[in-house]
């Protein structure tokens, strides 16, 4: 064996020694979220573009009694906290807050909801200081300036192929999800809610402005608060959708779960 080959073998052996199984029980959990079409019809007149950010969490158990609406079970209430921490094992979301190139759209827009810029502006019309309404062309120019995007395919918040929800034969809206790297003990429950009024978005957090506007003001693009799955009750408000019968995790089953959102908080 030549010196170079020997060196390569030693290098690989050294790398292998560096691999260590930490034995942390974490798994990816896959499933489908089904949003009752009747709720979308009732609240949004059938317009799925207006569905808020859907938070999906894996929780110890389910407690429909504590707050008077479907809610995960919680840990002990500590100090002045109004309720205990729901102590999620893990979770994910369907859609994320996205900055729509105009300050007026901060904390008002999600990914996976709009097929085109025209759709964005139909749901979120923007009026400029001179009274002119922003057109799709103007928004395209604004976004290419703000983000440096060069083609509509680069726009992270529009695209027919990027829509999260698809309407199924029953008239409900389906979206697949994957909750990455969570604990998945048998008996845990998958609970979800849709924050339809963006209560969970913090305008003072998120990415710092990539460009300055004419006012030269510093701002942030907005993102979700860090404790949404720990204290969902802080963000669940009237008009939000909630799952009332969260599925239970089974042993050795990490996919195929259906989480149905079918309860309107009012």
Task: Select 204 or 215, whichever has its Cβ closest to other proteins.
Answer: 204
Tokens 């963000």, located at residue: 235
Q: Are 165 and 35 in contact (CB under 8 A)?
A: yes
CB of 175 to other proteins, least distance (A): 26
DSSP character for 247?
A: P
CB of 177 to other proteins, least distance (A): 21
Task: Select 113 or 189, whichever has its Cβ closest to other proteins.
Answer: 189
In degrees, rounded to 5, the angle at the alpha carbon of residue 157 between the alpha carbons of residues 161 and 219 is: 170
Nearest to 60 by CA among 230, 256, 202, 254: 230
CB of 89 to other proteins, least distance (A): 7
CB of 22 to other proteins, least distance (A): 16
Task: Select 85 or 262, whichever has its Cβ closest to other proteins.
Answer: 85
Strand, helix or coil at 54?
A: strand
CB of 11 to other proteins, least distance (A): 26
Task: Select 3 or 79, whichever has its Cβ closest to other proteins.
Answer: 79
Give contact residues for other proteins (rule: CB under 8 A).
60-61, 75-76, 78-81, 85, 87, 89, 183, 185-188, 202, 204-205, 225-227
Task: Select 202 or 244, whichever has its Cβ closest to other proteins.
Answer: 202
Task: Select 47 or 85, whichever has its Cβ closest to other proteins.
Answer: 85
CB of 160 to other proteins, least distance (A): 35
Task: Select 62 or 241, whichever has its Cβ closest to other proteins.
Answer: 62
C-alpha 184/C-alpha 176 separation (Å) is: 18
């Amino acid at each position: 064996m030549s010196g170079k080959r020997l060196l390569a073998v030693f290098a690989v052996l050294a790398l292998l020694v560096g691999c260590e199984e930490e034995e942390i029980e974490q798994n990816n959990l896959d499933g489908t979220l089904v949003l009752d079409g009747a709720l979308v019809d009732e609240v949004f007149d059938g317009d799925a573009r207006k569905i808020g950010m859907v938070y999906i969490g894996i929780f110890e158990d389910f407690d429909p009694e504590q707050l008077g609406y479907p809610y995960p079970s919680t840990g002990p209430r500590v100090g002045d906290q109004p309720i205990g921490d729901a102590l999620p094992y893990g979770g994910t979301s369907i859609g994320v807050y996205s900055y729509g190139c105009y300050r007026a759209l901060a904390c008002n827009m999600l990914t996976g909801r709009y097929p085109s810029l025209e759709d964005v502006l139909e749901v979120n019309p923007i009026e400029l200081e001179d009274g002119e309404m922003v057109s799709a062309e103007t928004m395209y120019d604004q976004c290419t300036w703000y983000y440096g995007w060069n083609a509509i395919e680069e726009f992270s918040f529009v695209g027919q192929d990027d829509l999260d929800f698809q309407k199924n034969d029953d008239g409900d809206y389906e979206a697949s999800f994957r909750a990455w790297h969570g604990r998945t003990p048998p008996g845990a429950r998958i609970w979800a809610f849709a924050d339809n009024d963006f209560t969970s978005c913090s305008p003072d957090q998120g990415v710092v402005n990539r460009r300055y506007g004419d006012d030269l003001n510093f701002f942030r693009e907005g993102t979700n608060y860090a404790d949404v799955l720990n204290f969902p009750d802080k963000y669940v408000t009237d008009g939000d959708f909630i799952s009332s019968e969260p599925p239970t995790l089974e042993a050795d089953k990490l996919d195929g779960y259906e989480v149905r959102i079918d309860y309107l908080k009012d």
